[in-house]
């Protein structure tokens, strides 16, 4: 399912003294099956933008297109249900949304709301719980006796169980331990490959953006500041510095090497790739 916005602006608390403009004429197009990362300084409007994509927020002006559905400021809520089902949203700290007695019931909440039978919902609960790395024994436990990281996984399973076509993730790994972060990111990448789900990831980690995304959207002060492939974005170090962002350490490392020895090296976004590059230099014996 393709998502796009056309000149979307959003005002919070419109018509009050606390009125605040969070988006300015944002136009963006996210094709089906792609992996987009949205990065930007805190308060730049990332969360606001993604909440438009499944109709949780309505644009103050402009339009949002989700598949066949158009969302405008005057749109009735009824037609948004289908969009909500197809565009799954994992919020920042999703563990705060857990409420059921058992984990199974909590995961079933989404599918049941969207009309799945109890049997099917339960089956999905089992499946998705396994996907996020928890075993079946958890199904009958209370979500409130889990650790923070486990709760996060359950909450994510609750969204995956709805079988969305698009998965929007708002800083899904914030506050997880490093190995948990990596597992989560790998899970999203796998989901995209196996189920052809579109992934939209909001993140503060330049490393994750560089490693997983096809396209990066950089936001600043409520507008799109840059957009392009990771390689294109992270080449423009100065432009990123201007809005307080940095390039991944791997790229910085390669740049420093190039400068130090005055040579040209292949691109590397991740530590593994850097290792490859360095190894190849050593092997070939071109060390200056």
Partner 1 sequence: MMQNVIIGQYIPADSLIHRMDPRSKLIAVFIFVLIVFLANNWLSYSLLGIFTIGTAAISKVPFSYLLKGLKPIFWIVLFTVILHLFMTKEGPVLLDLGWAKIHEGGLVKGVFIAFRLFFLILLTSLLTLTTTPIDITDGLENLLAPLKRLKFPVHEFALMMSISLRFIPTLMQETEKIMKAQSARGAEFSSGPIQQRIKAFVPLLIPLFISAFKRAEDLALAMEARGYRGGEGRTKLRLLQWKMRDSFCLFSMGVLIVALVIFRS
Answer with the entry of partner 1, Mg ion, ligand ATP, none that 159 interacts with (C-beta below 5 to 8 A by kind).
partner 1
Among 40, 59, 88, 149, binds partner 1 (CB under 8 A): 88
Instruction: Give 40 or 158: the residue with its C-beta nearer to partner 1.
Output: 158
| Total Cβ atoms within 10 A of residue 78 | 7
Report DSSP state, residue 115.
T
Tokens of 65: 């297109």
Site string for partner 1, 118-157 (x = CB under 8 A): --------------------------x-------------
Residue partners of 225: CB distance under 8 A and separation at least 6: 40, 218, 219, 243
- Residue 99 as a binder of partner 1 (CB under 8 A): the answer is yes
Site string for partner 1, 5-34 (x = CB under 8 A): --------x-xxxx----------------
Cα(63)–Cα(124) distance, rounded to whole angstroms? 34
Closest CA to 55 of 121, 108, 8: 8
Closest CA to 203 of 183, 181, 224, 223: 181
Site string for partner 1, 177-216 (x = CB under 8 A): ----------------------------------------
Cα(31)–Cα(34) distance, rounded to whole angstroms? 6
Answer with the entry of ligand ATP, partner 1, Mg ion, none that 109 interacts with (C-beta below 5 to 8 A by kind).
partner 1
CB of 71 to Mg ion, least distance (A): 20
Among 7, 61, 70, 113, binds partner 1 (CB under 8 A): 113
Answer with the entry of partner 1, Mg ion, ligand ATP, none that 48 interacts with (C-beta below 5 to 8 A by kind).
ligand ATP
> 53 — phi, psi (to 5°)?
-70, -20
Q: Buried b vs exposed e over 269-287: b needs ≥16 C-beta within 10 Å? A: bbeebbeebbeebeeeeee
- Residue 51 as a binder of Mg ion (CB under 5 A): the answer is no
Closest CA to 67 of 28, 38, 116, 30: 30
- Residue 51 as a binder of partner 1 (CB under 8 A): the answer is yes
- Contact 198/186 with Cβ under 8 angstroms? no
Within residues 5-44, the interface with ligand ATP by CB under 6 A covers: 12-13, 20, 22, 40, 42-44
- Residue 285 as a binder of partner 1 (CB under 8 A): the answer is no
Instruction: Give 47 or 252: the residue with its C-beta nearer to Mg ion.
Output: 47
Among 47, 102, 235, 270, binds Mg ion (CB under 5 A): 47
Cα(271)–Cα(207) distance, rounded to whole angstroms? 9
Query: What residue ranges bind ligand ATP (CB under 6 A)?
Result: 12-13, 20, 22, 40, 42-48
């Amino acid at each position: 399912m393709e998502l796009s916005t056309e000149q979307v602006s959003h005002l919070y608390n419109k018509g009050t003294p606390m009125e605040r403009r969070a988006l300015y004429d944002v136009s963006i197009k996210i094709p089906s099956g792609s992996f987009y990362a949205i990065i930007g300084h805190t308060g730049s409007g990332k969360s606001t933008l993604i909440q438009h994509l499944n109709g949780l927020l309505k644009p103050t002006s402009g339009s949002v297109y989700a598949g066949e559905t158009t969302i405008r400021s005057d749109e009735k809520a009824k037609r948004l249900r289908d969009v909500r089902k197809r565009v799954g949203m994992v919020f920042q700290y999703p563990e705060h949304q857990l409420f059921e007695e058992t984990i199974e019931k909590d995961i079933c909440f989404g599918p049941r709301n969207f009309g799945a039978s109890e049997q099917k919902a339960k089956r999905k609960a089992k499946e998705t719980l396994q996907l996020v790395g928890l075993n079946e024994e958890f199904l009958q436990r209370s979500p409130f006796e889990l650790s923070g990281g486990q709760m996060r996984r359950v909450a994510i399973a609750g969204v995956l169980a709805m079988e969305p076509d698009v998965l929007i993730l708002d800083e899904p790994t914030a506050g997880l331990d490093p190995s948990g972060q990596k597992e989560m990111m790998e899970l999203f990448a796998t989901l995209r490959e196996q189920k052809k789900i579109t992934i939209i990831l909001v993140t503060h980690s330049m490393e994750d953006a560089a490693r997983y995304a096809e396209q990066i959207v950089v936001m600043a002060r409520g507008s799109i500041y840059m957009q392009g492939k990771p390689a294109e974005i992270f080449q423009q170090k100065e432009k990123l510095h201007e809005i307080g962002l940095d390039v991944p350490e791997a790229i910085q490392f390669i740049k420093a090497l190039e400068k130090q020895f005055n040579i040209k090296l292949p691109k590397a976004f991740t530590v593994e790739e850097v290792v490859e590059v360095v190894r190849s230099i050593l092997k070939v014996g071109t060390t200056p």
